[in-house]
């Protein structure tokens, strides 16, 4: 847990969603729970409702990446167009990027 002097990090979770079983919610939610237990603020796109167009999801996710202190890339991110875009946004904004190996 974080001490009183440490501000929790806002951490955006990026990874494959489209085409994944149950849109990969379980993987996103497990990582989000781990981050929350450590005292951080997970920004989890897997909580968004099913039914939007891909460009609409990206329009919602871009501001989340912008306010994040750090971006975590879930396994398989490199096979996701959306996660690749989020990775690019993180690089453009010089955000620390962490690669999650396994959950």
Instruction: Walk along the chain (103 residues) and give the pLDDT tens digit of each residue.
Output: 455 568 999 999 999 987 665 668 999 999 999 999 999 999 999 999 988 999 999 999 999 999 999 999 999 999 999 999 999 999 999 999 999 997 6
Quote the pLDDT of residue 5: 63
How many other β-carbons are positioned within 10 Å of the β-carbon of residue 14? 28
Quote the pLDDT of residue 20: 61
Quote the pLDDT of residue 24: 84
Half-sphere exposure of 88 (CA within 13 A, CB side): 9
Using DSSP's 3-state secondary structure scheme, residue 70 falls into strand
Quote the pLDDT of residue 6: 83
């Amino acid at each position: 847990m974080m001490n009183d002097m440490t501000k929790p990090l806002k951490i955006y979770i990026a990874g494959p969603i489209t085409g994944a079983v149950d849109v990969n919610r379980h993987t996103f939610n497990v990582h989000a729970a781990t981050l929350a237990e450590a005292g951080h603020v997970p920004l989890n796109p897997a909580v968004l409702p099913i039914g939007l167009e891909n460009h609409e999801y990206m329009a919602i996710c871009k501001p989340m990446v912008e306010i994040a202190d750090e971006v975590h890339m879930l396994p398989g991110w490199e096979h996701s167009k959306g996660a690749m875009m989020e990775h690019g946004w993180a690089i453009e904004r010089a955000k620390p990027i962490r690669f999650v190996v396994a959950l």
